[in-house]
A and B are shown apart, each in its own frame.
Chain A
Amino acid sequence: MSKTRLKFLRIFFIIFIFSIIVRLFYWQVLQSDLLTAEAEGQHFNFYEIPGSRGEIKAADDFSLVSNQPTYTIFASLKELDKPAGEIRDLLLPLFLQADIKEKISTLSPEQEQEMRQKISDELDSLLQNDKLVWVALKKRASSDLLAQVEKLNLKGIGSQVTETRFYPEGSLAAQLVGFVGNDATGGDQGYFGLEGFYNAELKGRPGRFKEEVDSLGRPILVGRKVGVEAENGRNLVTTIDRTVQYIVEKKLAEGLKKYGAKQASALVMNPKTGSILAAANLPAYDPARFGQYNDSLYKNPVVGDLYEPGSTFKVITMAAALNEGKITPETRCECSGPLQIGGFSIKTWNNKYYPNSTMTEVLQHSDNIGAAYAASLLGEEKFGEYVKKFGFGELTGIDLEEEVPGLVKSPQDTQPIDLVTNSFGQGIGVTMAQIVQAVGAIANGGVMMKPYIVSSIQGDNTVEIKPQKVREVISSQTAVALTEMMIKAVEGGEAKRLIPAGYRVAGKTGTASVPIDGHYDASKTVPSFVGFGPAEDPKFVMLVRYVEPSAPYQFGSETAAPTFFEITKELFNYYGIAPNQ
């Protein structure tokens, strides 16, 4: 009997010891990672310090884009001491009010009700989520909203500070700076403009720390603290003169309204350095609320839109012919009537003809026949060479994300009619940046500069960006002769009444028809004016362009030229340039 009991006792002990071993194996091997993590969680505090995104500054060091603290309001679901429905009812009016305030347009009662329902549903699904312990209830909340939520004193509802972009000048230069949205992982990502082009430089790196804490979660002074410091993004200092940008945007807004155009754009560059002083486009959007605008507004038309330049391109034709010695400003063209070529009849814009015109007069009258004559003296090959030399058909290299290279036919695709139409700016696709760069070369004695916007990238290693010469496209003598022709084109052309008294401005109007379904629609135009001033020592080269202004404002001399000279007048005052006549 006692032997049997002993046997049982032995078996019991064996099973007991075995179960202890199994249990130990379970905790120490199978659950090792979990327990280690839990222990770490009790002994250490893990936190992340966000790295601030770099600022974008104007040339005067004023921030066009900086950062502001915003908050993620979250719920620790296990800590909530009130039912989800009650918390939802308390938060709903606050969140709704904040969202209404954010809207760019006023909401109808139905829309407001719809928004209320949407927020309510979202809160319900977040607060009743059994699978999560932490949920973000509202991202990018303002400090006002946070203060209101904190007043409710709800257990389990907390906040975490984050940063969002802040635009002190509102939507000034919106398409130039771009905006910050989210990438696939929910992190910050710059899109369009400088934010897109310089995303890698602007993006900060968050710091992550592990710090030993006591049982109450307070840091221990002599405890271990390891981690990686946060790294702020680098600041960009641009060449943008915010006063010039402001003047340009104001004048464009007036023009857009007056001429009933679909779009108004302007680009101002220092021809000696290639530094962009202003790049404006209207209608614009508010980059802080980019999501509420049509995404067709995001792209910067100054570099991202192709258009047919029309008569502004005649200065390129003249520059090439002058530089090749095929013409002089006094060379005369028969120009007595329409030009017949390949079954097409080429006419002037107003169907008026000026027989025996000089090349200067051709520019003054914006005579298509005269431009075609100059191009014919050059020939297809040379003309094509100069088009390429002036940078058409390739990227200017400007530091903006959405730049396109333009559309220039290759020599093998060129027909005889193309030489004629290209000579007065039809049948060729260019960007505003290309036109400004090319005309800037004329203003700069024949030397073409690379346009650029960022002059310095500030950070641990500050990088200064210097002006870059692209190439000498025409001789300085050609540039001087052409400048004189352009001055006379303004003084003897339709824009002469607009010139500020005592100043000499070189320029050229342009009015291109818009190609629609394989033909040009005469009722839809793209008027523009390109020029530089003061002509004897240019401080700026500027292109103003409207897209599809309403009748009767169809031509460059009626729309873009007045805006160009209004801006020019202000710029002469701003730069303190005295008249010299």
Chain B
Amino acid sequence: MKTRRKLILPQFLHLNHLTLKGVFLLLIILAAFQLYISNSFVTEGEKIKSNLNEIAQLEKENRGLKNQIQTVSALNHIEEVATSKGFGKVGKVEYVSSEVSVASR
């Protein structure tokens, strides 16, 4: 003769019908949220790629500008520009002796 054993559950698992419905609903909401977030993250890939391209472009531009600054700050270029604007080389520098009186104020 078979005896039927009763499953003994902890107190907190003694859920009523309404609670089960609530848990089920929560699971659905969480699953939907997960789906939405995952989907958003995946589609963000396009944005990442475009941001990476933009970073690369800005870095390239930055490097180009830096090199341009260096080219125009090169001494031969400065001399060329100075000469074209009529500047000349200092021939002889006259140093003022400390023994010569100069206005002190």
Mark A residues whose CB is within 8 Å of B. Answer: 62-63, 66-69, 143, 161, 166, 168-170, 172, 213-214, 218-222, 242-243, 246, 573, 578-579
CB A245 to nearest CB in B, in angstroms, measures 9
Contact (A246, B76) CB under 8 Å given A219-B48, A220-B45:
yes
Assess the B74–A170 pair: CB atoms within 8 A: yes
Checking A62, A67, A166, A221 against B73 with a beta-carbon cut-off of 8 angstroms, the contacting residue is: A62
Mark B residues whose CB is within 8 Å of A. Answer: 38, 41-42, 44-46, 48-49, 52, 56, 60, 63-64, 66-67, 70-71, 73-76, 90, 93, 95
Q: Which residues of the other chain, A, contact B49 by a CB distance below 8 angstroms?
A: 218-219
Q: How far is the CA of A13 from the CA of B46 in the complex (A)?
A: 50
Assess the A168–B41 pair: CB atoms within 8 A: no
User: Sorted from nearest, which 5 A-B pairs have the closest CB atoms?
Assistant: A168-B70, A218-B45, A578-B95, A221-B41, A221-B44
CB A290 to nearest CB in B, in angstroms, measures 19
Q: How far is the CA of A214 from the CA of B38 in the complex (A)?
A: 12
Assess the A67–B63 pair: CB atoms within 8 A: yes
Assess the B45–A168 pair: CB atoms within 8 A: no
Q: Which of A68, A143, A166, A168 has the most CB of B within 10 A?
A: A168
- Known A66-B67, A68-B64, A214-B42; 10 more pairs at CB < 8 Å: A69-B60, A161-B56, A168-B70, A168-B71, A168-B74, A169-B74, A221-B41, A221-B44, A578-B95, A579-B95
Q: Which residues of the other chain, A, contact B56 by a CB distance below 8 angstroms?
A: 161
- Majority DSSP secondary structure for residues of B touching A: helix
Assess the B93–A220 pair: CB atoms within 8 A: no
Q: How far is the CA of A69 from the CA of B60 in the complex (A)?
A: 7
CB B93 to nearest CB in A, in angstroms, measures 5
Assess the A62–B70 pair: CB atoms within 8 A: yes
| Residue of A with least CB distance to B68 | A168
Q: Which residues of the other chain, A, contact B70 by a CB distance below 8 angstroms?
A: 62-63, 66, 166, 168
Q: How far is the CA of A170 from the CA of B60 in the complex (A)?
A: 21
Q: How far is the CA of A218 from the CA of B60 in the complex (A)?
A: 22
Q: How far is the CA of A161 from the CA of B52 in the complex (A)?
A: 14
Q: Which residues of the other chain, B, contact A67 by a CB distance below 8 angstroms?
A: 63
Q: How far is the CA of A552 from the CA of B80 in the complex (A)?
A: 33
Q: How far is the CA of A68 from the CA of B63 in the complex (A)?
A: 7
Q: Which residues of the other chain, A, contact B90 by a CB distance below 8 angstroms?
A: 573
Contact (A170, B44) CB under 8 Å given A578-B95, A579-B95:
no
Q: Which residues of the other chain, A, contact B63 by a CB distance below 8 angstroms?
A: 67-69
Assess the A161–B60 pair: CB atoms within 8 A: yes
Assess the B76–A169 pair: CB atoms within 8 A: yes
| Residue of A with least CB distance to B97 | A578
Q: How far is the CA of A354 from the CA of B38 in the complex (A)?
A: 99
Assess the B45–A214 pair: CB atoms within 8 A: yes
